[in-house]
Amino acid sequence: MTVTLSEKAEFHLQALLGGSAPNANGATKGVRISVKDGGCSGHEYAMDITSKPQPDDLVSQQGKVLVYVDAKSASLLEGIVVDFVEGVMESGFKFTNPNATDKCGGCGKSLKAGDGKPTGVPCS
């Protein structure tokens, strides 16, 4: 499983994770990345901070950031690059996904892949 964090994304995720150390159970906070049905193109990216990955999550480390990838989303996330962009109008995480056959030009958080199912709902 290849998920790449840019230097900026890693820096911002480290800040969100607060330089986490293992908790009493030995688990360390990380970011969980997945794809869910929904969004304007049919699928939407999700990122959550967690210290409790799901049992079937794929685990990797990018610098000092633990990355948990939802196993069901792995085929849609293979090769993805997560960046952090800063601008006057908008700042946040940006996803560059080689598996996306289309993406929303408005929200930037939604993708279409494969057969285009599920269908999306236009963003407002």
How many Å apart are CA 11 and CA 5, to the nearest integer?
A: 9
pTM (global) more than 0.85 = no
For residue 18, what pLDDT band results from cuts at 50, 70 and 90? Answer: confident
Supply the pLDDT for residue 50. Answer: 92
8 Å CB contact between 3 and 67: yes
Backbone φ and ψ for 120, nearest 5 degrees, come out as -90, 170
Mean pLDDT of 48-69: 91
How many Å apart are CA 28 and CA 21, to the nearest integer?
A: 6
Mean pLDDT of 74-102: 85
